[in-house]
Amino acid sequence: MNWRNTIVCDTNVLLGKPIIKGTRISVELILELFTNGWDEKMILESYPALTSNQIKAVFAYLKDCIVEEMYFPIKKSA
């Protein structure tokens, strides 16, 4: 999946955080919802302007960030 047509950064929207194009819905929000137990159906019901492909683009973007090492290393706990 080519997320580059779906995930964008605009300094005028959410301080330049990655968002779903044409929305103010951030990649961070989608990931937070999944982390808190939401599933795709719940997200799509709560954000009817979103599509399943846009949600998949969030994960494709995240995968590429990890591949390109655009992440913060996990520090070892004591």
Q: Flag whether 78 is in a domain.
A: no
Q: How many domains does the chain have?
A: 1
Q: How confident is the model at residue 75 (pLDDT cuts 50, 70, 90)?
A: confident
Contacts of 78 (CB under 8 A, 6+ apart): none
Structural domain range at position 26: 3-67
Residue 16 sits in a domain whose CATH number is 1.10.10.10
Q: What is the pLDDT of residue 67?
A: 84
pLDDT tops 70 at residue 30: yes
Q: What is the pLDDT of residue 72?
A: 65
Q: How confident is the model at residue 59 (pLDDT cuts 50, 70, 90)?
A: very high
Mean pLDDT of 34-40: 97
Q: What is the pLDDT of residue 68?
A: 82
Q: Flag whether 75 is in a domain.
A: no
